[in-house]
Amino acid sequence: MKRTLSFMIFIAVAVLLLPQCQQFSKEKKAKYVFYFIGDGMGVNQVNGTEMYLAEKEGRIGLKPLNFTQFPVVNFATTYSKYNSVTCSAAAGTALATGTKTKNGTIGMDSLHQAPLYSVAVKAKEAGKKVGITSSVSVDHATPAAFYAHQPNRSMYYEIGTDLPKTGFDFYAGAGFLQPKSKKDTAAPELYGLIEGAGYKIIRGNEAFEKQYTEAVKAVLIQKEGAEKGCLPYAIDRKEGDLTLAQITENAIRFLTKEENDGFFLMVEGGKIDWACHGNDAATVFTEVIDMAEAVEKALDFYKQHPDETLIVITADHETGGIALGTGKYALNLQALQYQKLSKEELTRKIQELRTAKGNKVSWEDVRGVLSENLGFWKEVKLCDKQETRLKEIYKRSFGKNGVKLEKNLYAENELLAAEAIEIMDSIALVGWTSGGHSAGVVPVFAIGVGSHLFSGKLDNTDIPRKIAEAAGY
């Protein structure tokens, strides 16, 4: 009797739970996945951008970026296998594969014995189209982590040779840092190797418009002769330059030009990190805005496919330890709007002046460059101490001792340019703790199918796992 009663209770419970189980099993999966990674984009890089946009409008507060309005807003930790402060290679690998590894490592375990396969590979195995894109080179750490398996991120040629092995459909970025092998002169040139694997290499946005329909697989890079390491900073952009928003839009067009089972697209805003390494606040905020413009292309697609699309945005780490406020209970971010170029471009202008006039550059010449490009002495007032400091560096830079350069991870700049940008940041009341990475948490934003999975405290390794779960890979 007891057994019969127990069995009847079991049957009743099963009947009650059956609709819930059926509902769970039929839970909709994301057919289209966008995965944005803002390299170096910590919480304050995002918050500072929104405050800067508000101050440009003459008010205190925030002007929200599109992705900060997503229904899921969270944060994630970023430490690597053996270091509290990660590098981009280890962080990229964690965000791609869901496994932590040793700093400097691309898509391999910490012992460099076994490959680690990314969520992009899982997407491809599930029959999805796959795109890997960036505003820096295609073989840089973050994009590389999604397709390559190399013990060191500086093995750019070897990373490039891994690209065609994945069978991914679309790649885009500035170019390739090392098209020829330094170790083996007989090794094939990278562009030929990639084309031999069935990829069409398309140079520039105009060429893409003409060529993308005929390509089965494609690699979009900058025009012939353009910088192969990165796209120009958004603050320095000129007409005809390839942009991250164009790359994102082109990727969508390429991945949807024929009927398929959906796609996975990774988009890296790589130069947020570069500007942070250079401690250049105006350029940082402009790069965050630039990534938001790329996100807008994904949102346009999402609005057309709201029940099939997932958009996730995060960062690999924070860079620079940016501080919004340097002692005063105030900010003056509106001053940054008068900065018309990056530190690197200001360096170029100073060097052009040096070339044009030899070493016979007057202080008035220098004042003219700084006034025109940073608003100094016009919109942005300098105190006596700041002007004296600039004059001292001017005398050293154009004196008998020759030129000394300020070095950061991605650039060598004129000391005068470096000092001018440092003064601009100090006027804005923005500070920096270093020119390197920090252990600060990074933001996570999600919208669409499966976005609820990104609630609760996250580690960077959780993010690709949850993307795979949301998409059913």
Cβ proximity of 447 and 311 under 8 Å:
yes
Q: Please, which residues have CB within 8 angstroms of residue 27's CB and are 6 or more apart in sequence?
A: none
- What are 206's two structure tokens? 């105009």
Per DSSP bridges, beta strands 309-314 and 72-77 are: unpaired
Q: Decide: residue 142, CB within 10 A, 0-12 exposed, 13-18 middle, 19+ buried.
A: buried
pLDDT at res. 26: 65
pLDDT tens digit string along 14-62? 444 444 444 444 689 999 999 999 999 999 999 999 999 999 999 999 9
Architecture of domain 32-322+435-449+456-471: 3-Layer(aba) Sandwich (3.40)
Backbone phi, then psi, for 447, in 5-degree steps? -150, 145
Rounded to the nearest integer, the mean pLDDT of the chain is: 93
pLDDT at res. 1: 46
- What is each CA distance from 94 to 37, 86, 245, 316, 384, in whole angstroms? 12, 10, 25, 9, 48
Backbone phi, then psi, for 275, in 5-degree steps? -65, -35
Beta bridge partners of 324: 430
- What letter does residue 58 receive in the DSSP assignment? T
* Own/partner long-range contacts of 206-215 (Cβ < 8 Å, ≥24 apart): 208/250, 212/250, 212/253, 212/254, 212/257, 213/257, 215/254
Least confident residue range of 136-140, 172-176, 393-397, 421-425:
393-397
Cβ proximity of 145 and 119 under 8 Å:
no
Which range in 13-22, 346-355, 428-437 is most confidently predicted, on average pLDDT? 428-437
Q: Decide: residue 297, CB within 10 A, 0-12 exposed, 13-18 middle, 19+ buried.
A: buried
Q: Please, which residues have CB within 8 angstroms of residue 378's CB and are 6 or more apart in sequence?
A: 338, 371
pLDDT at res. 164: 97
pLDDT tens digit string along 216-265? 999 999 999 999 999 999 999 999 999 999 999 999 999 999 988 999 99
Closest Cα to residue 50, out of 324, 265, 360, 403?
324
Does the pLDDT at position 6 exceed 80?
Answer: no
Sketch the domain layout of the chain as residue ranges. 32-322+435-449+456-471, 333-428
Backbone phi, then psi, for 431, in 5-degree steps? -120, 165
Backbone phi, then psi, for 423, in 5-degree steps? -65, -45
pLDDT at res. 400: 63
Helix (H) or strand (E) holding 155: none
pLDDT tens digit string along 110-166? 999 999 999 999 999 999 999 999 999 999 999 999 999 999 999 999 999 999 999
State what percent of residues in the chain have pLDDT above 90: 88
Cβ proximity of 54 and 285 under 8 Å:
no
- What is each CA distance from 31 to 131, 147, 256, 264, in whole angstroms? 14, 21, 12, 8
Question: What amino acid is encoded at 172 in this protein?
Answer: A
Cβ proximity of 34 and 447 under 8 Å:
no
Strand spans (E) along 177-284: 199-203, 217-221, 263-269
- How far is the C-alpha of 200 from the C-alpha of 141, rounded, in Å? 23
**C-alpha torsion angle, residues 116, 122, 123, 128 (rounded to 10):** 120
What number is the average pLDDT over the span 428-452?
98
CA angle, 11 then 14 then 15, to 5°: 85
Helix (H, G, I), strand (E, B) or coil at 242: coil
**C-alpha torsion angle, residues 286, 287, 290, 296 (rounded to 10):** -110
pLDDT at res. 143: 98
pLDDT at res. 402: 61
pTM above 0.95?
Answer: no
- What are 27's two structure tokens? 């839970």
- How far is the C-alpha of 51 from the C-alpha of 85, rounded, in Å? 27
State what percent of residues in the chain have pLDDT above 70: 94
- What is each CA distance from 422 to 101, 222, 243, 425, in whole angstroms? 35, 31, 27, 5
pLDDT tens digit string along 357-407? 877 899 999 999 999 999 999 999 999 999 999 999 999 888 765 667 777
Q: What single string gives the DSSP state of each residue in 377-394?
A: TTTB---HHHHHHHHHHH
